[in-house]
């Protein structure tokens, strides 16, 4: 599929007032092409080499060996190597077909339009002489002092394919604000303690002290069997990446830019408002509680989402036993944080997910939590702020279920009071109730969460620090 410069691909459909949405064709082609980054082939897994081999090998073959990170989504060196290996193909995808040969390859005289370079800015941005300010690729390529290197001609209003490719190859470098760089040279954060008896080491790092506003990043990996709670300036407006956490409770009570949770197990994540996207991939038995602009999930099993969102949750491929439920908690600064991220209580589409990729299965991918299974979630930390209840309240069916449960508790208390137990009987009865409660904590796994909480005074400090 090829398209001329400046053309636009339009998708029209009914959405409330029949809004027509569109996406730039050239950027869309780039988006589709880079999905090959995660393409898995049998030949690759057997002999460890890329197949089919790209026409142009990277000039930096050691790029993919520089990082110990084996997750391609997290490995910036892998991303750089992919772009270098496929740079000619990427450029040929963007140029006018008239600039290519009959076999759709470039020639020494091929030209690349300004619109194509604007589209390529979707993937590439940069700086001048190591300055901190970041510019999109097209601004750098059109900058007068760089015309000779980028190949821009004022006469043709286009770029020389040959010079543009050579300039990009010579200038491309690893993302200094990416995940790999953050883990390698970012500021290490002592937010988690190391658990005895395990070889896994918790890794938490950030680049917020050096990165521009839109590139602030916090990375958390391998937090194990503990409760981690933070409300910090480090988190405000940051992209948060969480990876391989297990049997952990994580409270990030600050306004966040985006959150990605990958390969986590048996954990609960309570998040401050997420301004853009919250994405989960390859997670098992994870509970997420959040207000977010967009939720998307892929390859998850047995996960529960208590969310408030103005857009329909996206169910991508590979999900099993997904449960959606209404947002059911609050903390004192929540409504202030929602205002800072532009999120409100209406509309709320938590119960209307969209299945984007339907797997070949007769069973339903998701369900809505039954009201009889619903409980509110209490955040056990003291903070300053004005929010005292769940923003937007609860759907009537869930509020009714809570009311009925409260009536049962009141009836039980009345029955105990009317039993007129002696002092010794009350003590004996209290022991029985506490033993049953203890059994329930163990059977439900809640004991670990309570045991990992620090004393209230220190806990307040941890949440606010």
At 26, phi and psi to the nearest 5? -65, -40
pLDDT band at 48 (very low <50, low <70, confident <90, very high): very low
**What pLDDT shows up at residue 362?**
60
Query: Which residues have C-beta within 8 Å of that of residue 76, sequence separation ≥ 6?
Result: 67, 174, 175, 178, 179, 180, 181
The 8 Å CB, 24+ separation contacts for 289-294 are 289/327, 289/328, 289/329, 289/377, 290/259, 290/327, 291/327, 291/334, 291/338, 291/343, 291/391, 292/259, 292/343, 293/341, 293/342, 293/343
Query: Which residues have C-beta within 8 Å of that of residue 318, sequence separation ≥ 6?
Result: 298, 299, 300, 357, 359
How far is 257 from 215, CA to CA, in rounded Å? Answer: 10
**What pLDDT shows up at residue 201?**
77
How far is 461 from 223, CA to CA, in rounded Å? Answer: 20
Largest CA distance in the chain: 100
**What pLDDT shows up at residue 107?**
83
**What pLDDT shows up at residue 311?**
97
How far is 403 from 410, CA to CA, in rounded Å? Answer: 11
| 3-class secondary structure, 425 | helix
For residue 272, pLDDT over 80 is answered with yes
The two tokens of residue 230 are 């933070």
158-193 pLDDT, tens digit each = 999 999 999 999 998 888 888 888 888 888 888 766
Of the listed ranges 36-50, 186-200, 428-442, the least confidently predicted one is 36-50
273-301 mean pLDDT: 97
At 39, phi and psi to the nearest 5? -70, 130
For residue 307, pLDDT over 90 is answered with yes
Of the listed ranges 50-59, 108-117, 128-137, 310-319, the least confidently predicted one is 50-59
**What pLDDT shows up at residue 303?**
98
DSSP strands (E only) in 362-419: 366-368
Q: Which residues pair with 207 in a beta bridge?
A: none
Average pLDDT over the chain, rounded to an integer: 82
CB-CB contact of 309 with 349 (8 Å): yes
How far is 461 from 465, CA to CA, in rounded Å? Answer: 6
* Lookup result for tokens 């508790």: 409
372-384 pLDDT, tens digit each = 999 999 998 888 9
| 3-class secondary structure, 443 | helix
| 3-class secondary structure, 345 | coil
How far is 390 from 265, CA to CA, in rounded Å? Answer: 27
> What does 257-292 look like in DSSP terms, one character per residue?
SEEEEES-BS-EEEE--EEEEEEEES-BS-EEEEEE
**What pLDDT shows up at residue 458?**
45
CA dihedral 179→185→191→197, nearest 10 degrees, is 90
The top-scoring range by mean pLDDT among 90-104, 223-237, 254-268, 379-393 is 254-268
Work out whether the CA dihedral 184, 187, 192, 193 comes out positive or negative: positive
How far is 234 from 3, CA to CA, in rounded Å? Answer: 43
CB-CB contact of 300 with 286 (8 Å): yes
The two tokens of residue 349 are 């589409």
The top-scoring range by mean pLDDT among 3-7, 65-69, 367-371, 441-445 is 367-371
- Which DSSP letter does residue 256 get? B
**What pLDDT shows up at residue 457?**
45
Which of 221, 217, 267 is CA-nearest to residue 246?
Answer: 267
245-260 pLDDT, tens digit each = 999 999 999 999 999 9
50-108 pLDDT, tens digit each = 433 333 434 433 333 343 444 566 677 788 888 889 999 999 988 888 887 777 788 88
How far is 403 from 422, CA to CA, in rounded Å? Answer: 31
Query: Which residues have C-beta within 8 Å of that of residue 289, sequence separation ≥ 6?
Result: 268, 269, 270, 271, 306, 307, 327, 328, 329, 377
* Lookup result for tokens 């409100």: 344
Of the listed ranges 60-64, 148-152, 197-201, 371-375, the least confidently predicted one is 60-64
**What pLDDT shows up at residue 7?**
39
The two tokens of residue 316 are 């991508």
132-142 mean pLDDT: 89
**What pLDDT shows up at residue 200?**
62
Of the listed ranges 51-65, 202-216, 225-239, 297-311, the least confidently predicted one is 51-65
Q: Is 86 exposed, middle or buried (0-12, 13-18, 19+ CB in 10 A)?
A: buried
């Amino acid at each position: 599929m090829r398209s001329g410069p400046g053309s636009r691909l339009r998708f029209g459909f009914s959405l409330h007032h029949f809004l027509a949405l569109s996406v730039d064709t050239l950027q869309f082609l780039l988006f589709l092409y880079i999905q090959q980054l995660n393409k898995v082939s049998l030949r690759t897994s057997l002999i460890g080499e890329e197949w089919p081999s790209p026409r142009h090998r990277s000039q930096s073959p050691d790029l993919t060996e520089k990082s110990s990170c084996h997750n391609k989504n997290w490995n910036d060196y892998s991303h750089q190597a992919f772009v270098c290996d496929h740079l000619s193909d990427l450029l040929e995808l963007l140029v006018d077909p008239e600039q290519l040969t009959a076999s759709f390859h470039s020639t020494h005289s091929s030209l690349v339009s300004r619109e194509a370079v604007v589209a390529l800015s979707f993937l590439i941005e940069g700086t001048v002489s190591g300055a901190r300010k970041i510019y999109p690729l097209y601004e750098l390529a059109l900058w007068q002092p760089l015309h000779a290197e980028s190949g821009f001609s004022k006469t043709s209003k286009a770029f020389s394919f040959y010079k543009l490719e050579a300039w990009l190859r010579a200038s491309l470098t690893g993302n200094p604000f990416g995940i790999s760089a953050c883990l390698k040279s970012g500021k290490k954060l002592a937010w988690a303690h190391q658990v005895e008896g395990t070889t896994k080491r918790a890794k938490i790092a950030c680049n917020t002290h050096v990165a521009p506003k839109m590139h602030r990043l916090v990375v958390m990996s391998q937090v194990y069997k503990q409760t981690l709670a933070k409300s910090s300036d480090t988190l405000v407006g940051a992209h948060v990446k969480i990876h391989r956490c297990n049997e952990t409770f994580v409270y990030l009570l600050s306004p966040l830019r985006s959150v990605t949770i990958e390969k986590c197990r048996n954990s609960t994540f309570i998040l401050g408002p997420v301004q853009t996207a919250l994405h989960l991939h390859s997670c098992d038995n994870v509970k997420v509680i959040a207000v977010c602009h967009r939720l998307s999930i892929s390859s998850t099993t047995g996960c529960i989402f208590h969310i408030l969102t103005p857009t329909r949750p996206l169910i991508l491929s590979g999900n099993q036993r997904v449960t959606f439920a209404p947002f059911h908690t609050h903390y004192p600064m929540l409504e202030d944080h929602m205002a800072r991220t532009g999120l409100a209580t209406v509309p709320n589409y938590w119960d209307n997910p969209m299945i984007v990729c339907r797997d070949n299965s007769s069973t339903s991918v998701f369900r809505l939590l039954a009201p009889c299974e619903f409980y509110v979630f209490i955040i056990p930390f003291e903070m300053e702020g004005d929010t005292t209840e769940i923003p937007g309240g609860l759907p009537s069916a869930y509020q009714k279920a809570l009311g009925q449960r409260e009536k049962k508790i009141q009836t039980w208390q009345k029955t105990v009071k009317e039993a007129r137990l002696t002092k010794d009987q009350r003590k004996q009865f209290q022991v029985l109730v506490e033993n049953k409660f203890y059994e329930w904590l163990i059977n439900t796994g809640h004991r670990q969460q309570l045991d990992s909480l620090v004393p209230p005074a220190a806990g307040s400090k941890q949440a606010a620090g």
